[in-house]
Structure 1
Amino acid sequence: MEKIVILTGAGISAESGLGTFRDEGGLWSQHRIEDVATPDGFARNPQLVQEFYNARRQQAATAKPNPAHVALARLQAEWPGEVILVTQNVDALHEKGGAQDVLHMHGTLAGALCAGCGHRWTAPDTMRVGELCPACGAGGGRPDVVWFGEIPYFMDQIYAHLGAADLFAAIGTSGNVYPAAGFVQEAAMAGAHTIELNLDPSEVVSNFAETRFGPASKTVPAWVDELLRR
């Protein structure tokens, strides 16, 4: 049976009320990326970074999955082959929608990471400067999210899945951030059919064999319905 690999980005969660980098008036618009999403930013002003991610964590905790998340979980459950779900999002909306074994390549808001020993644990609702690591006792606790300049998680697994994919879909991604922006080319080289589902064309839209544009809550359920009717 066909193996499907799906990459999702911030656009799939936008209709659940979680803003993207480009949204005006959202959390991201109030700060420079260099200040809140880089190791240097955390070193300069850990208070600002902890407060920023505390706000994101609290916002994500109250967000509800939309029909796009639910549709992908349904595809996972009903597709006779394998469906691999990779996300750049740090929220848990895929899991809330019923998805299983999601590869969070950029980490999760629900996680904490020790900058010293690398231990991971469940983040409290509010992380503070000098958050103590339960493993080593050092006060280097930070959000377990992948910042700019850091290596995303699960890359070996993801590339292995891309190399074996029959169908690759990118949903709600801008195509601005690598390595994820290059996944379509990896899948295409392996012989996969490629499709982009997005509100607007991404920066790498020309690399896709098929495109569909519109709100994720409309395009994704319709696409899933078509696949399951095959």
Structure 2
Amino acid sequence: MSNYEETKPAKGGVIANIFAALAFLALGICLLVLNADSVSDMIYSFASIAVGACFICFGAYYMIKYFFKQEYKSICNYGFTMGVILAIIGSGFLFLSNVVVVFLDFIIIFAGALLGTIMLQQSFALFYMRKATWFLSFLFGACSIAASIYFGFFEKIVFFSGNLIPCLYFIIIGGLSLLSMLLMVIGIHGHKKEANVKPAKHTEEVSAPEDSIFEEELSFETPVVEKVELEPGSDDLFDE
């Protein structure tokens, strides 16, 4: 299989990744700069609405894409089912706001680990495209997952307390996610350039004239024998 295949990232996944990273970054900055109590009250008040709206929007996106992209022609595509499930989950968040508030810290830990997993996947893609930046994305993802597991199971923290550690958690993971996305965009751009260059080189190699197996071709000329005419009665051939 050729290493220069066309790369087409899923738009829905890219939008969700950017939105989650920006949300983490904004939360960390707001908790660090603004009044933490006011920010936490606002988050607890609108958390269920925000989470539910996100799930419903992405569910609607997958359902609409299923018909407009004619994905129903593929028996292995379950985009419509995924959209319905996401819409149901989003509706549940809207009507069960108390549940969202109780599990808000778990949702944050899960989102942080999910962003780290996406960074790991981006590092694998960069490694396949032979980009040296794959190691950075791998390191970003591993650190994000490790931090999420540590703060979620071993050192539980209150994320909306306004303390420095949870603020740094939001800011660092959000920033690393955006940086990993930037490395991915640069890698895909370079990958496509290489994919366009390789066929051109291959065409030039095929169209180039083959060199002769002989450095110099030998040519043989027939020697010209001068015709000697003898006069009648001449004895020149018998003279010594």
Scaled by the length of structure 2, the TM-score of the pair is 0.32
Scaled by the length of structure 1, the TM-score of the pair is 0.33
Q: Which is greater in Rg?
A: 2
Q: Which has the higher contact order (CA 8 A, sep 6+)?
A: 2
